[in-house]
Copies of this chain bind each other. A is one copy, B any other.
Amino acid sequence: MVSKVPDTETTTGITPPRHRFASRMRRTGKSFIREILKVTEDPGVISFAGGLPNPAFFDVQGISEAASEVLAEDGRSALQYSTTEGYLPLRTFIAGRYKTRLGLTVSPDEILITNGSQQCLDLLGKVFLDAGDHVAIERPGYLGAIQAFSLYEPVFDPVPLEPDGPEATHLDSVLSGSPVRIFYGVPNSQNPSGITWSGEKRRDIARILADKGTVFVEDDAYGEIRFSGDTLPSMRQFIPDQTIITGSFSKILSPGMRLGWICAPGDIMEKVVIAKQASDLHSNFLSQQIASRYLAQNDLDSHIRKIRNGYLRQCSLMAGLIRESFPDGVSFTEPQGGMFIWLTLPEGCSSMEVFDLALRKKVAVLPGLPFYVDGGGTDTLRLNFSNSTEEKIIAGVERLADVVRTVGKNS
């Protein structure tokens, strides 16, 4: 039996509300991912379904020391209200790192600290999107962005992903149609596909965006955990006035501290500050100070090298096992960074059937359906490699290979 994707409130089994809610609430149900994660909370399940970083790489000791020092030295300030834009030394650190890592000249005034990079997406939806506005997004596209933007009731224009990035002619034709407010994409190790846009593709896309004057939202959650290949330029290098970068400490320090940021040109930042202030005044100031102090007295590059090496090992192990043990007709991305392998099943093989049978065998995977704003992707799966031990990767992929073979035979 094929499970149904609970993507609207009518399918979640909730009785009709007595209260009258905003129409935007009809457009989204509970996250498919979160619902799946609940099913897979059973500790006996090997889960490749989630998107958690590996907690073995959290520097608990270093963060604990930074926390003690911040509270000892000026605790009253760290516990008080602060500015909407965020802690200046932290914003200065982020701006400086854009210089050293990507050669970008960014002013701390162009940085605002958010509650993780998910909040960037909500704030940008708030700033840019009226109901009915068009948003271009990669196909498949990041589910968190689809959820955040959906509540502003836009029309999504999916742009197919090729192995080297979005299909340029398709983007051009989309942008030549109805006015598109923003193009949202993840050029480095995209979630879910694992694809990294090539340098040449970046230039092509930038040229199209410059021509149309469309704002690009560059979600760079994974740029720092690129474990093979050269560092590629940010779109800000080509179209600085039209590029907003969203960044995150979730993959390099700690997701629980909810620290992300928006990097945007001044005229856009002006609006983002207003939206942030109305949304929650400012981000957690204690955590901002802890992170800032941690970054000032620890070697972030060496910390990130550990994460990259670990993820490269986990990714290579999973990819190698899939190559050896999965039936013919299965294809998958070999990502150069990030946390996911994206898998396409043989023709006629349904990812929801694989999901159902795998869960019975105590392995959780994420069907690709919710990443497609226009339907489709029924033969795709996303596998997370960052949050499993090598033993679990070995055991999980073995069980999954059997499941895919079984489902393939029955289809």
- The answer to whether A20 and B280 touch across the interface, beta carbons within 8 angstroms, is no
A14-58 with Cβ < 8 A to chain B: 14-15, 17-25, 28-31, 34, 52-53, 55-56, 58
Q: How far is the CA of A76 from the CA of B115 in the complex (A)?
A: 19
- The answer to whether B215 and A274 touch across the interface, beta carbons within 8 angstroms, is no
Question: In the complex, what residue of chain B is closest to A256 when comparing beta carbons?
Answer: B285
Knowing A25-B274, A58-B75, say if A18 contacts B147 (CB, 8 Å). Answer: no
Knowing A275-B151, A286-B256, say if A79 contacts B58 (CB, 8 Å). Answer: yes
- The answer to whether A81 and B255 touch across the interface, beta carbons within 8 angstroms, is yes
Question: Which residues of B are found within 8 Å of A241, using beta-carbon distances?
Answer: 18
- The answer to whether A28 and B118 touch across the interface, beta carbons within 8 angstroms, is no
Give A167-201 as 1s and 0s: 1 = Cβ < 8 Å from B's Cβ atoms.
00000000000010100000000000000000000
Q: At the interface, yes or no: A282 with Cβ under 8 Å from chain B?
A: yes
- The answer to whether A22 and B258 touch across the interface, beta carbons within 8 angstroms, is no
Chain A residue total in the interface (Cβ 8 A): 85
Pick out which of these stretches binds chain B: A59-67, A307-315, A319-327: A59-67
Partner of A67, one of B71, B82, B152, B284: B71
- The answer to whether B115 and A284 touch across the interface, beta carbons within 8 angstroms, is yes
Q: How far is the CA of A17 from the CA of B181 in the complex (A)?
A: 14
Q: At the interface, yes or no: A304 with Cβ under 8 Å from chain B?
A: no
- The answer to whether A21 and B128 touch across the interface, beta carbons within 8 angstroms, is yes
Number of copies: 2
Most buried by B among A60, A148, A179: A60
Least Cβ–Cβ distance between A86 and chain B, in angstroms: 12
- The answer to whether B80 and A55 touch across the interface, beta carbons within 8 angstroms, is yes
- The answer to whether B81 and A52 touch across the interface, beta carbons within 8 angstroms, is yes
Q: At the interface, yes or no: A254 with Cβ under 8 Å from chain B?
A: yes
- The answer to whether B55 and A64 touch across the interface, beta carbons within 8 angstroms, is no
Least Cβ–Cβ distance between A338 and chain B, in angstroms: 16
Least Cβ–Cβ distance between A310 and chain B, in angstroms: 14
Give A255-266 as 1s and 0s: 1 = Cβ < 8 Å from B's Cβ atoms.
111100000000
Q: At the interface, yes or no: A401 with Cβ under 8 Å from chain B?
A: no
- The answer to whether B34 and A84 touch across the interface, beta carbons within 8 angstroms, is yes
Pick out which of these stretches binds chain B: A98-106, A119-127, A341-349, A367-375: A119-127
- The answer to whether A148 and B279 touch across the interface, beta carbons within 8 angstroms, is yes
Q: At the interface, yes or no: A246 with Cβ under 8 Å from chain B?
A: no
Residues of A bordering B, CB below 8 Å: 14-15, 17-25, 28-31, 34, 52-53, 55-56, 58, 60, 63-64, 67-68, 71-72, 75-82, 84, 114-116, 118-119, 122, 126-131, 133, 144, 147-148, 150-152, 179, 181, 215, 241, 250, 253-258, 267-268, 270-271, 273-275, 277-287
Q: List 26 A-B contacts (CB under 8 A).
A: A14-B267, A22-B127, A22-B129, A25-B274, A30-B274, A34-B277, A55-B76, A55-B77, A58-B75, A58-B76, A58-B79, A60-B79, A63-B71, A64-B67, A64-B71, A79-B256, A115-B284, A118-B278, A119-B280, A122-B278, A126-B151, A256-B284, A258-B285, A284-B287, A286-B287, A287-B287
Query: A30-B274, A60-B71 are known contacts; what are 4 more A-B pairs with Cβ within 8 Å?
Result: A21-B271, A25-B126, A28-B278, A258-B282
